[in-house]
């Protein structure tokens, strides 16, 4: 019997999810499993999923489809429900189940970046990935968060912050670094090139700065921080660990983390 899974989104050609999942299948000896990559535009996910034959067991879902994935699901995991977005769909008897493994991925990646405990954080952006960041940050003890946005923070993200017991404020790019605070951890959840200028932004001593982007490194965000002597962790660790959870959800097997990490390192090295 053959089984199929894949990743969907727009754009999608940059996705390294196939590298990770295929490496897992090989290490686990899962013959007959394949992993595909399809470009699906906003609004087209439901039609795409409805048309998948029965040998499709799961989908990794990337931007801009995470909220659509949640809406079409017959069953929803707790973190997907809280975040208001899902990056994983798995076939279940009643249809499709939506889960959010970004929270798991970001939690592990921040820990690997050296974060152990923090009370203040800044999250750049306020979309679905930002909500995943809030869920990850509370596990480190964060109690105050600033959402740094171009214009207005999304209401659903502010509601989640309140639900999590976070004291949330909103600051805007145009206000400038003097108004952005001295956070202990900063997580950028926006695409490369969509971040604010950081010249003059002073963070708490030993602050952890994380960029969810992993392609074409360093991003302008990371390069700007580096000129100020600040290390920025790129998002491949988040990508790895969210895929580890996806592999388990889709195959029912424990993911081979070492094999997946090695494949990711090779792919990122080949495509900086």
Which burial class, exposed, middle or buried, applies to 47 when counting CB atoms under 10 A from its CB (0-12, 13-18, 19+)? exposed
Query: What token pair was written down for 153?
Result: 């923070």
Provide the 10 A C-beta neighbour count for residue 50. Answer: 10
Nearest to 149 by CA among 119, 182, 127, 117: 127
- Three-class SS state of 77: coil
- What is the torsional sign of CA 12, 15, 17, 18? positive
Residues acting as catalytic residues: 66
Asked if residue 18 lies in contact with residue 7, where contact means CB atoms within 8 angstroms, the answer is yes
Closest CA to 16 of 217, 232, 254: 217
């Amino acid at each position: 019997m053959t089984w199929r899974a894949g990743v969907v989104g727009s754009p999608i050609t940059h996705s390294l999810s196939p590298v990770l999942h295929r490496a897992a299948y090989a290490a686990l000896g899962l013959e007959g499993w394949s992993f595909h990559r399809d470009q699906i535009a906003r609004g087209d996910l439901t039609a795409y999923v409805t048309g998948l034959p029965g040998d499709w067991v799961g989908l990794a879902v990337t931007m801009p489809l995470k909220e659509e994935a949640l809406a079409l699901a017959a069953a929803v995991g707790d973190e997907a429900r809280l975040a208001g977005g899902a990056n994983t769909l798995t076939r279940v008897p009643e249809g499709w189940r939506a889960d959010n493994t970004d929270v798991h991925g970001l939690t592990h990646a921040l820990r690997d970046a050296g974060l152990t405990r923090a009370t203040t954080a800044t999250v750049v952006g306020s979309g679905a990935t930002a909500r995943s960041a809030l869920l990850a940050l509370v596990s480190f003890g964060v109690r105050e968060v600033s959402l740094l946005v171009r214009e207005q923070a999304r209401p659903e993200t502010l509601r989640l912050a309140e639900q999590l017991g976070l004291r949330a404020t909103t600051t805007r790019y145009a206000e400038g670094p003097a108004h952005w605070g001295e956070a202990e951890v900063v997580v950028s959840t926006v695409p490369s090139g969509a971040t604010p200028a950081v010249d003059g932004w002073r963070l708490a001593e030993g602050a952890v700065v994380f960029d969810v982007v992993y392609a074409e490194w360093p991003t302008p965000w990371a390069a700007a921080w580096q000129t100020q002597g600040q290390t920025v962790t790129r998002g491949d660790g988040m990508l790895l660990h969210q895929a580890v959870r996806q592999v388990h959800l889709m195959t029912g097997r424990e993911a081979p983390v070492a094999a997946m990490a090695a494949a990711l390192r090779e792919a990122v090295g080949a495509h900086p």
